[in-house]
Amino acid sequence: MRSRILLIYTGGTIGMNRNPQTGALEPFDFEHLLLNVPELKQFDIQIDTYQFNPPIDSSDMSPAMWTDLSHCIADHYDLYDGFVVLHGTDTMAYTASALSYMLENLTKPVVITGSQLPIDQLRTDGKENLITAVEIAAAKDEKGHAMVPEVGIYFGGHLLRGNRTTKQSAEEFNAFESFNYPHLVEAGVNITYHRDRILKPDFSKPMVPHFRLDNNVIIFSLFPGIREDLIRHIIHTPNLKAIVMRTFGSGNAPQKTWLLKALREGTRNGKVIVNISQCMQGAVEMSRYDCGWHLQEAGVISGRDSTVEGAVTKLMFLQSHYPDDPETVRKFMSQSLRGEISV
């Protein structure tokens, strides 16, 4: 029995063409996109399509759209062997991270891909990305289980864990990287699946979809000279529940009395403050230096080797499930829910 794949089009560069009047890229009809990839018909795979209407620029992606995507996958889950989501690159890593939390015990692939150049351009990277994403989404092991039962981003010859991925380039075809976790799949002449790196769900249990997110969270980066009044304004923002604080190196911050006092006030008032390094690679180790140790004393928790995208969407997910319980949110932020951090 041949595999069935649902191809979900949200928008993005892969499905755009250039407006002759303005020169700007604009979405066009999804069927036109498929006409540019006749190679898909060579697969012994049934490919059905679903289009978000209207398709959006990924800069307009939102938690509401993530909920729609989660509903779409959940509603069609029993009908298909895998899902391929076409998405703009700018917020692709946020969407991949959010879906990884929202689709609990995922037993089928959700492969998110797109392109740096539109599908109808001669040098497009979209064809290879789409074709290989479909092949990976349809792949099964000797037991008939999905080879990659998790949310991943396929781009530039690699499948990466979605909640470990960051966009690294606006110019290169190899636009994404997973700096703190190795690639799940390498696609060259052959497709190599690194099975020891891939999540192993309980195939005897159903997938559990979640549809709630609480976006009362903010991200800010420390820098030399950051002002006290701005920090206090952020920490005392009405209804704010959590902060992703991007620090220096292995989780360090200025040893300013006012900064530590402000952070302590925030955590005592129930705000969850997560320490994420500004470095692309490596992990937060707050016990390594004295300034990091003082952050711990102020109630700041380590985000370990999480990406910013992984941390902020995880907070949205946890806050929606434990709305008045910051201690439980803190506890789960230190645990790996979907392989998003190393523990």
pLDDT for the residue 160: 98
pLDDT for the residue 33: 66
pLDDT for the residue 41: 87
Residue 290 among known ligand-binding residues: no
pLDDT for 245-286, tens place per residue? 999 999 999 999 999 999 999 999 999 999 999 999 999 998
83 within 8 A of 109, measured Cβ to Cβ:
yes
pLDDT for the residue 259: 97
pLDDT for the residue 192: 98
pLDDT for the residue 288: 83
pLDDT for the residue 289: 80
252 within 8 A of 217, measured Cβ to Cβ:
no
- In whole angstroms, give the CA distance from residue 332 to residue 321: 11
Regions in the chain scoring below 70 on pLDDT: 16-21, 23-33
Which backbone phi and psi does 310 adopt, to 5 degrees?
-65, -40
pLDDT for the residue 25: 62
pLDDT for 121-140, tens place per residue? 889 999 999 999 999 999 99
pLDDT for the residue 74: 98
Which backbone phi and psi does 149 adopt, to 5 degrees?
-85, 65
Written as one letter, the residue type at 243 is: I
Residue 342 among known ligand-binding residues: no
Written as one letter, the residue type at 181 is: Y
Residue 58 among known ligand-binding residues: yes
pLDDT for the residue 36: 75
pLDDT for 200-227, tens place per residue? 999 999 999 999 999 999 999 999 999 9
- In whole angstroms, give the CA distance from residue 263 to residue 116: 40
pTM of the model: 0.95
Written as one letter, the residue type at 247 is: T
> CB neighbours (10 Å) of residue 131?
17
Q: Which residues have a catalytic role annotated?
A: 13, 89
Query: What structural domains does the chain harbor?
Result: 3-209 (3.40.50.1170), 217-333 (3.40.50.40)
